[in-house]
Amino acid sequence: MRWDIQFFKIIFPSVLFNINDESIHLTFDDGPHPLATPVILQKLKERNIRGTFFLLGQNAQKYPDLVRQISAEGHQIGNHSYSHTNILFKDKSFLRDEILRTKEILENAVGEHSPYFRPPYGYFSWTTLSVLRELKKECVLWDIDSKDYKLSSIQDISNRVVPNTRKGSILLFHDNNSTSSRVQDYLPALLDVFLAKGFNFKTLPA
Ligand SMILES: [Zn+2]
C-alpha cells in the first residue's frame, strides 16, 4: 500500500481507504447518469459482479428509476452529497443539509441504504468527520483511483489500476459526463483482467 494511504489511515482511523478482506471493492461516483450508469450495470451484470454507487442527490432526484435499478440489481448505494460542492471550508449546517437532502431522496427511491458517505473530490476535514459521526455516516475514500475521468486510453487506466490493486482495495470509478462515452470500453477490459487474476468482488461490509 502507498505510504500516504498508510499515513492517512493512522491519522483518520474512522475513514475507510481499503477493507481488511480478500475481495476487491468497486465504487462508482457521481451518478446516476442516464448514459454511463446503464452501461456499467450491464457490464457488471454480465459478470455477476456487485459494486457500490455513490450517488449525488441532484442526479438521484432526476433519475429515480436508475437509483431503483442499481438497488434492484443487488448493488450498494452510498451518499455522495447533493450538489458535489467542495465541502472542505463549508460550515456544519451546509454539510448536514447536503447529506440529509440526499439521504431523503435516496430513501424515497429505494428505502434503507448503506451508511456510507463519500465526500466530493475526497476532500474532508475534522469538521466533516464530526458531522458524519453525528449523522451516523461512515466516510469512505479509496486506495486505487482509476482517474477514469481524465485518462483516455484503456492502457493508461489499466497501467494505473491493475499493478496497484490488492485484496481489500477500494477502487474509484465514475459514472458521469466525463466517462459516459468511454466506460463501455475500459470497464469490461479491467473487470476481465481482475477476473482472470482470480480476484472476487464485493460491496462494502454491511
Ligand atoms: Zn464525485
Residue extents of the structural domains in the chain: 3-196
CA–centroid distance, 79 to ligand 1, in Å, is: 10
Average pLDDT over residues 178-190: 96
Among candidate residues 25, 29, 113, 148, the one labeled active-site is 29
CA distances (Å), origin 117, targets 46, 100, 103: 27, 11, 10
Q: Cell triple for residue 113?
A: 441504504
* Angle made by CA atoms 47, 52, 56, in degrees to the nearest 5: 130
Average pLDDT over residues 46-66: 98
In this prediction, what percent of the chain has a pLDDT beyond 70?
A: 99
In the β-sheet with 76-79, what is the strand arrangement from edge to edge?
Answer: 138-139, 116-117, 76-79, 52-55, 25-29, 170-174, 144-145
Q: For residue 1, what pLDDT is reported?
A: 57
CA–centroid distance, 63 to ligand 1, in Å, is: 17
CA–centroid distance, 36 to ligand 1, in Å, is: 14
Residues 6 or more apart from 75 whose CB is under 8 A from it?
Answer: 41, 44, 50, 51, 52, 53, 203
Does 33 have pLDDT greater than 90? yes
Which segments of 26-113 does DSSP mark as H helices, in order?
Answer: 36-46, 57-62, 64-72, 92-110
CA–centroid distance, 166 to ligand 1, in Å, is: 23
Q: Which residue has the cell 460550515?
A: 91
d(CA 200, CA 206): 17
- Summary mean pLDDT of the chain: 96
pLDDT-derived band at 5 (thresholds 50, 70, 90) equals confident
Q: For residue 3, what pLDDT is reported?
A: 72
CA–centroid distance, 163 to ligand 1, in Å, is: 24
Q: Which residue type is seen at 19?
A: I
**Would you give the DSSP letter of residue 115?**
-
Among candidate residues 75, 84, 174, 175, the one labeled active-site is 174
The reply to whether CATH 3.20.20.370 applies to domain 3-196 is yes
Whether the bond between 205 and the residue before it is cis, its omega within 30 degrees of 0, is no
29 is catalytic: yes
Q: Cell triple for residue 10?
A: 493512522
Do residues 67 and 55 touch, judged by C-beta distance below 8 A?
A: yes
Do residues 16 and 171 touch, judged by C-beta distance below 8 A?
A: no
CA–centroid distance, 16 to ligand 1, in Å, is: 16
Q: For residue 2, what pLDDT is reported?
A: 66
